[in-house]
Amino acid sequence: VKRGHIAKLPVVLGEVQQRQEITVLVEQMLELHKRLAAAHTGHEKSLLQRQITTTDAHIDQLVYQLYALTPAEIAIVEGS
C-alpha cells in the first residue's frame, strides 16, 4: 500500500474528548459482550442485550457527529 492511497482514506482525527468517549464506549461494548456470553438467565441476557443495543447506538451517533454526516448520509450508512 502506498502512502498516496492511505492519504485518500476519510480518516477524521476529531476532538480528543470525542475519541476518548468512543474508546470508552467500545471498551464497555467488549465487556458487555463478554458478560452476555457468560450470562445464565434469560433476564440477564435480555438486560445485557439492551445495554449493548444502547451502547452501539451511542457509538454510532458519536461517529456520525465526528464525520459530520447529514441525515441522508446516515440513512445510507444504516441501509434505510
pLDDT in tens, the chain (80 residues): 677 777 777 666 667 788 889 999 999 999 999 999 999 999 999 999 999 999 999 999 998 988 889 999 999 999 97
User: Could you tell me which residues come within 8 angstroms of residue 56 by beta carbon, excluding any fewer than 6 positions away?
Assistant: 29
Amino acid at position 35, single letter: R
What distance, in Å, lies between the first and last C-alpha atoms of the chain? 33
Q: Are 4 and 17 in contact (CB under 8 A)?
A: no
Query: pLDDT at position 12, please?
Result: 62
Q: What is the pLDDT of residue 11?
A: 64
Q: Which residue has the cell 492511505?
A: 6
pLDDT of 2: 75
